[in-house]
Amino acid sequence: LVGFLFALSVRFVNPPINYFSEQYMNHAFLASIMRNPVVPPLDPWFAGGHLTVYYYLGHWLMGCLGVVTGVPSEVVFNLIPATVYGTAFVMLYATGSLLLKRWKWIVLPVLFLIPPSVPWFLATGWNLYGAFQKTNWIIPGARFEFPLFSLFLGNAHAFEMAAFNQFLLIFLLGFAWLRWGGLDARGRRGLALLIAVSIGSMPPLSSWDALVYGPAVAVFLLLLWARERENVSRAAIVVVPAVAFLIYLPYYLLLEPAGVGGIGWGFPPTDPLLFIAIWGGFLALLYVAIARDIWRSPVYLAVALPFIATGYVALGIVAVPLAYLLRRDHSFPDLLCIAGLLVLAFCDLFYLQEMLGGDYSRFNTIFKFYFDAWILLGTGSLLLAGKWLAGRRPVLPAAARKGAAVAAAVALITAPFALDVDIGRGLLGIEYPPAGYTTLDGLAYLEATRPGEAAAIDYLRTLPGGHCIVEGENGDYGYYSRVSSFTGIPTILGQIGHELTWRGNGAWYTGRPADIRAIYEGPGNTTALMEKYNATLLYVGEPEHERYDVRLPDSGLRLVYDEGGVRIYALTG
């Protein structure tokens, strides 16, 4: 409940769904699913297309919750982070309870800790958002998000929604590592099935997670088999991944990914100071945890020398704790830390080749893999810290500890009201309502900033049936594509850069923008082109007049809405 209320308060004080980040995209998916809950979902930014080009299970799950409860998409959008944080807190506390006798809550801060760079930027004069944003782009040519910043940013992105499943899988693996031998055959089958469901859900939730946890689970199963050969058959090692794949077979059969072009390497090494600015906190805990091992066997420090000599200093920093952890008895926290360190090592040597190239070749590799590494390394290192603290005598009496826990929970829930979490104000010319605007309705701000459009959006959301709407197109991260994003009604083309990433550079890339312009500017082609895309509605607002020389035909269209500077036409016949 504390995690849920904390995240809810963050979104309550900063609720707008706007275009400076990925909020338009994720609300568009959510609204499309809630408006027309079919499988596969319709792509709201590509009329006639489906979301088979993207991992949509998270949006589907949250959208179904909205449909069942009757909560509109613009409110569901801001309930998503709270739902994720609430479930993640439960899984983290369960993991702490499984592994620690005391300090069971110590892993919870992995969700709201900040990297060392944030206080540094705050100390140099940046405000909270500036410090987060500077950290976000601290690695040249890449992007880094940690859970707290993702929450403040409020994108409700697929990888953020999928975080609850990472924590679930970590708990399940920890339970298997500690309790497998004590379970009967039925219990083992049930646990194996739960692990299969969790790992199987990763590709449709966030395929990047599967690239990290798929190999990790495979190695884990081999280690479990090596330790528990009497209780783990070789068949089980094959059955778990097979079940994980088969339960989502329809998803894979329909999938149309743009694809990864292989693994690249040879990128310049990460600056070690920037690396420490991100990972210094967790790495410090790790180095403290292995300090006794270093004292006993300092020779293994030499593992860093080849990397330092070749310029990969950050990799050398990672190699030292990795070498010592691999020599230990492999407690479950050690395994988590090893997995996190290996992810960081991979990112310093390799990257997955995709649409982005040049200086941004490893943009998404670091963006998505660093988020997973934060969860793995953060959870593992905090568990090691808890293990050390659990062996120490309590400083406070029991009553005082309970009081401190209550005070900490209250402080966490109320902190967003005291902090400046007004993310997005002033960016890209975005018009925001006055300060102090609080609600869970992510679109309520339109009534204060664009009342004419707000009323038109409300009208469109009342229309039943499978409509398709024509609206202006003008690239990404702007006020265009807002109609499809707010309503979930498919449009001919939304944000073109996103569709290029998902669908590749086909004839549509030049054809669809040209057809949209012809619909608005060529009266003789308007109705025919609308029929080409099965478009039933034509939206004309201020952005359309700014983008096009609007000239519509005298026949073939019927005016169905005309208020507040917005006109909406329906195709007749």
The ranges assigned to domains in the chain are 263-356+364-390, 450-571
Asked if 123 and 346 count as a contact pair (C-beta separation under 8 A), the reply is: no
H helices of 350-487, in order, are: 363-390, 398-418, 446-449, 451-461, 482-487
Q: Is the pLDDT of residue 382 over 90?
A: yes
127: left (phi over 0), alpha (psi -120 to 50) or beta: beta
Q: Hey, what amino acid is at 568?
A: I
Residues 47-61 have a mean pLDDT of 95
* Rounded CA separation 446/427 (Å): 16
pLDDT at 425: 54
**What pLDDT shows up at residue 305?**
96
Q: What mean pLDDT comes out for the span 25-42? A: 95
Return the pLDDT at 416: 82
- By CB neighbour count within 10 A (0-12 exposed, 13-18 middle, 19+ buried), where does 392 fall? exposed
Q: Is the pLDDT of residue 283 over 60?
A: yes
Strands 537-540 and 263-265: unpaired
Q: Residue 422: pLDDT band by 50, 70, 90 thresholds?
A: low
Confidence of residue 547 (pLDDT cuts 50, 70, 90): very high
Question: What is d(CA 533, CA 128) in angstroms, rounded to the nearest whole number?
Answer: 45
Mean pLDDT, residues 133-159 taken together? 91
Query: Hey, is 534 helix, strand or coil?
Result: coil
User: In this model, does residue 52 exceed pLDDT 90?
Assistant: yes
Task: Note the pTM of the prediction, 2 decimals.
Answer: 0.93
pLDDT for res 498: 93
pLDDT computed for residue 432 by the predictor = 62
Average pLDDT over every residue of 344-364: 85
Q: Is the N-terminal amide bond of 433 cis, ω within 30° of 0?
A: no
Percent of the chain with pLDDT over 70: 96
In this predicted model, which residue has the larger pLDDT, 82 or 262?
82
Give the Cα separation of 46 and 496 in Å (integer): 9
Asked whether the predicted pLDDT for residue 196 surpasses 90, the reply is yes
Supply the pLDDT for residue 132.
87
First to last CA, the chain: 54
DSSP character at residue 267: P
**Sorting pLDDT into bands at 50, 70 and 90, what band is 259?**
low
Q: Tell me, what's the pLDDT at 426? A: 52
Tell me the average pLDDT across 23-39: 95
Average pLDDT of the chain, as a whole number: 91
Taking the C-alpha atoms of residue 285 and residue 446, their distance in angstroms, rounded to an integer, is: 46
Q: What does the alpha-carbon distance between residue 77 and residue 85 come to, in Å, rounded to a whole number?
A: 14
Count helices and strands (H / E) in the chain.
27, 6
pLDDT at 428 over 50: no
- pLDDT for residue 193: 94
Q: What is the pLDDT of residue 461?
A: 94
